[in-house]
């Protein structure tokens, strides 16, 4: 019988293999840029025409190649980066199979110009479809330039398969972004069809992110830096309030190599979970540094996958690192509470000593009406004190400023003595819904309901972790009857509900006796509370796919938290504020809404212009 197996000629084998390595112009961009990095370049310029289909040029100032290496580099498995198979396990450089240039040359017209510092002249080689067409010596600066023209010129099927120029360009920019992000100390440019799209100067990672995504990122980033045994995570996350509706800036690197890792992505998403609205995505630029021996990179050059020996550990560290960054941000120095200055004022001491309060004599014009003021009275030369009726109420009694002028109009001409409580008041309730207080930078306005929701949410999460929810016994246990479905859901939730302080006892397939409820649910009808919990739990489950504990904590917190339009005492407000800023995340409620706003002094001043 005749032998049927034949070896493919190299050129054909190269073309087939090339299809795996170089799928589109962006793949060639990536390989060439990574080679330039490996060559130790400090400046790398990328030039493309027609989204790389007509031209891809990468110019670097790296180590260059000798004449022999310049010829050899196009050979399959020609690499200066591995010599034994063992090295595959501790790869630090970017490319590592000596396949990229062979692949590119198999499907394009490639011109290479390269010179090492120590050589007097450079080498120029033209390679077309794996065949060296020209070779000559040329004068040039040290470094390497690869010019790749007419990609897939000899593989029409591939060429036709390419997407629109716009789409291919997006891929190129994406590869450019990935490479440049992790190398901020290196300068890069990208020029497309004669127009410079990016000019990235050497700098810090933050500056690089701003160079790539715009200066607005200066405000948006939170640093992450966490070092643990064998793992170091650093980079930036985007603050929750800037989370985007589209899966935007999510950049994950392992040892500076871009990877996709659904499980680790989840660690970040989970750390943000309660903070960003549904349908929004967190942004991040993070590098995980690990010992190369602890990972197994799928060495296929186009794959962006990595396996970790202990991925659970990396998950935990990553989650903690992101949480820490969010937490630190929320304890930002912006919220610098003022010392209650009036506490030690003479007035307050006098009041404490229950001496009669003597009010300074404030001349008041009972007929004063700010809206009747004639314009000619307002001459610029007059100072504030020229209008006696504008004198500040020295006692600090804010009631005088807020329309309670009746007592001032009485014959005695003096206000009633003011209770100490009000004069020392650091907190003012606005519309029985917001708490107003001053901080060093201006006014702080807190939504009381959202603040309390956040406090309870974190408390409930902790209680479920520690099985520590306090319970109050119901004097008259109520029966809670539900549908079959709800009964099985309730049974499923029973352990967590008990940790929160509910004491439920199933008496028949669809009825539970409520013997106890969480201690802070006093005043709520137990049946109604449980009904609401079940309803909201189901909504959260389908809308947000929250995990069970988060869901329950969120649901219960929203139910029990103090409602808007509820009057709070000074002590209650104080308590709420103190507890809010002791939370892990004081800034946003579990539903993603902002809990407080700060109106800065500058903003206030601007309002009076």
What is the Cα–Cα distance from 596 to 454, expressed in whole angstroms? 12
Please give the Cα distance from 27 to 33 (Å, whole number).
Answer: 10
> Smaller CB distance to ligand ADP: residue 37 or 446?
37
Q: Rule CB under 6 A: is residue 78 a binding residue for ligand ADP?
A: yes
Q: How far apart are the first and last CA of the chain?
A: 99
How far is it, in rounded angstroms, from Cα 209 to Cα 336?
A: 30
Residues that bind Mg ion (CB under 5 A): 35, 95, 100
Residue 79 binds ligand ADP, judged by CB under 6 A: yes
Q: Is residue 69 within 8 Å of residue 101, measured between CB atoms?
A: no
Q: Which of 66, 80, 422, 566 binds ligand ADP (CB under 6 A)?
A: 80
Q: Of Mg ion, ligand ADP, none, which one does residue 288 interact with (CB within 5 to 8 Å by kind)?
A: none
Q: Which of ligand ADP, Mg ion, none does 78 bind, CB closer than 5 to 8 A by kind?
A: ligand ADP
Beta carbons within 10 angstroms of residue 70's beta carbon: 22
Q: Does residue 36 touch ligand ADP according to CB under 6 A?
A: yes
Closest chain position to Mg ion (CB): 95
CA pair distance 437, 415, nearest whole angstrom: 25
Per-position x/- string for 88-117, each x denoting binding to ligand ADP as judged by CB under 6 A, each - no binding = -------xxxxxxxx---------------
Choose the contact partner of 190 out of Mg ion, ligand ADP, none; CB within 5 to 8 A by kind: none
Nearer to Mg ion, 37 or 560 (CB): 37
The nearest distance, CB 111 to Mg ion, in angstroms, is 17
Least CB distance to ligand ADP at residue 76 (A): 8
The yes or no reply on residue 73 touching ligand ADP (CB under 6 A) is yes
Cα angle vertex 305, ends 301, 306, to 5°? 110
Q: 3-class DSSP state for residue 112?
A: strand
C-beta of 122 vs 184, nearer to ligand ADP? 122
Shortest gap between Cβ of 128 and ligand ADP (angstroms)? 17
Question: Which is nearer to ligand ADP, 66 or 510 (by Cβ)?
Answer: 66
Least distance in angstroms from the C-beta of 257 to ligand ADP: 13
User: 57 is in the binding site of which of ligand ADP, Mg ion, none (Cβ under 5 to 8 A by kind)?
Assistant: none
Angstrom distance (rounded) from CA 446 to CA 594: 9
Instruction: Pick the closer one to ligand ADP by CB: 102 or 162.
Output: 102
Strands 43-49 and 187-192, sheet pairing:
parallel
Of 200, 66, 85, 196, nearest in space to 123 by CA:
66
| For Mg ion, the closer CB: 38 or 463 | 38
Q: Which of 22, 52, 53, 62 binds ligand ADP (CB under 6 A)?
A: 62
Angle at 327 between CA 228 and CA 437, to 5 degrees: 160
By CB under 6 A, tell whether 65 contacts ligand ADP.
yes
> With respect to ligand ADP, which residue has the nearer C-beta, 20 or 386?
20
Total residues binding ligand ADP (CB under 6 A): 23
Q: Minimal CA–CA distance to 546: which of 496, 504, 498?
A: 496
User: Please, are residues 503 and 469 in contact by the beta-carbon 8 Å criterion?
Assistant: no
Helix or strand or coil: residue 93?
Answer: coil
Choice from 22, 26, 56, 63 touching ligand ADP (CB under 6 A): 63
Token pair of 33 as six digits: 């840029």
Answer with the entry of Mg ion, ligand ADP, none that 71 interacts with (C-beta below 5 to 8 A by kind).
Answer: none
- CB-nearest residue to ligand ADP: 95
Going by their DSSP bridges, the two strands 503-508 and 511-518 should be labelled as antiparallel
Residue 539: both structure tokens together: 């909504």
Look at residue 128 and give its three-state secondary structure. Answer: strand
**Residues 126 to 185 in contact with ligand ADP, rule: CB under 6 A:** 144
Residue among 302 and 473 whose Cβ is closer to ligand ADP: 302
Shortest Å, Cβ 113 to Mg ion: 17
Interface with ligand ADP, residue 35, by CB under 6 A: yes
d(CA 187, CA 183) in angstroms, rounded, equals 8
Query: Residue 342 carries which DSSP code?
Result: G
**Helix 548-560 and helix 448-466, axial crossing angle in degrees, nearest 10:** 140
Residue 148 β-bridge partners: 56, 110
The CB density around residue 449, as the number of other CB atoms within 10 Å, is 20
Among the listed residues 18, 28, 39, 186, the single contact to ligand ADP using CB under 6 A = 39
145 binds, among Mg ion, ligand ADP, none (CB under 5 to 8 A by kind): none
| Nearest residue (CB) to Mg ion, 35 versus 521 | 35
Percentage helix, strand, coil for the chain under 3-state DSSP, each rounded to 5:
40, 25, 35
Q: Which spans of this chain sit near ligand ADP (rule: CB under 6 A)?
A: 31, 35-36, 39, 60, 62-65, 73, 78-81, 95-102, 144
């Amino acid at each position: 019988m005749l032998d049927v197996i034949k070896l493919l000629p190299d050129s054909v084998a190269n073309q087939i293999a090339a299809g795996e390595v170089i799928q589109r112009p962006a793949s060639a961009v990536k390989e060439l840029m990574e080679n330039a990095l490996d060559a130790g370049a400090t400046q790398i310029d990328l030039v493309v025409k027609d989204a790389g289909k007509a031209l891809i040029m990468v110019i670097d100032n790296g180590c260059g190649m000798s004449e022999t290496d310049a010829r050899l580099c196009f050979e399959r498995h020609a690499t200066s980066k591995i010599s034994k198979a063992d090295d595959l396990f501790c790869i630090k450089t970017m490319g590592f199979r000596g396949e990229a240039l062979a692949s590119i040359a198999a499907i394009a017209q490639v011109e290479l110009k390269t010179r090492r510092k120590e050589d007097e002249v450079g080498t120029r080689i033209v390679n077309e479809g794996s065949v060296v067409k020209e070779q000559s010596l040329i004068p040039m600066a040290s470094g390497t330039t690869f010019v790749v023209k007419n990609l897939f010129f000899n593989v029409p099927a591939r060429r036709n398969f390419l997407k629109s120029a716009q789409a291919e360009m997006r891929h190129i920019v994406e590869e450019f972004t990935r490479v440049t992000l992790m190398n901020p100390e290196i300068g890069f440019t990208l020029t497309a069809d004669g127009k410079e799209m990016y000019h990235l100067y050497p700098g810090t990672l933050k500056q690089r992110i701003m160079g790539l995504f715009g200066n607005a990122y200066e405000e948006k980033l939170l640093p992450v830096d966490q070092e643990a045994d064998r793992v170091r995570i650093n980079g930036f996350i985007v603050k929750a309030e800037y989370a985007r509706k589209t899966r935007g800036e999510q950049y994950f690197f392992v040892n500076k190599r871009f990877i996709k890792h659904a499980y680790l992505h989840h660690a970040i998403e989970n750390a943000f979970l309660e903070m960003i609205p549904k349908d929004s995505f967190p942004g991040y630029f993070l590098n995980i540094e690990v010992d190369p021996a602890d990972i197994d990179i799928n060495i296929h050059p186009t794959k962006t996958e990595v396996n970790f020996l202990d991925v659970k550990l990396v998950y935990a560290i990553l989650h903690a690192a992101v949480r820490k960054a969010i937490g630190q941000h929320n304890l930002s120095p912006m919220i610098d509470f003022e010392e209650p200055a009036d506490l030690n004022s003479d007035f307050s001491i006098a009041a404490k000593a229950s001496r009669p309060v003597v009010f300074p004599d404030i001349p008041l014009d009972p007929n004063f009406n700010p809206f009747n003021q004639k314009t000619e009275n307002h001459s610029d030369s007059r100072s504030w004190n020229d209008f006696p009726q504008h004198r500040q109420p020295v006692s600090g009694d804010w009631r005088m400023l807020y329309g309670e002028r009746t007592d001032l109009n009485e014959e005695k001409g003096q206000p009633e003595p003011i209770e100490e409580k009000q004069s020392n008041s650091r907190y003012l309730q606005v519309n029985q819904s917001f708490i107003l207080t001053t901080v060093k930078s201006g006014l702080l306005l807190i939504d009381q309901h959202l603040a309390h929701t956040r406090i309870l949410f974190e408390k409930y999460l902790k209680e479920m972790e520690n099985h520590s929810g306090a319970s109050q016994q119901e004097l008259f246990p109520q029966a809670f009857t539900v549908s079959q479905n709800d009964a099985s859901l309730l049974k499923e939730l029973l352990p967590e509900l008990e940790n929160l302080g509910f004491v439920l006892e199933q008496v028949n397939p669809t009825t539970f006796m409520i013997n106890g409820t969480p201690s802070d649910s006093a005043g709520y009808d137990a049946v109604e509370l449980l009904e609401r919990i079940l309803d909201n739990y189901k909504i959260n489950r389908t809308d947000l796919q929250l995990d069970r504990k988060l869901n329950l904590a969120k649901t219960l917190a929203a139910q029990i938290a103090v409602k808007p339009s509820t009057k709070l005492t000074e002590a209650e407000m104080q308590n709420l504020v103190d507890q809010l800023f002791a939370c892990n995340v004081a800034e946003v409620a579990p539903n993603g809404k902002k809990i407080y706003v700060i109106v800065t002094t500058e903003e206030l001043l601007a309002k009076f212009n």
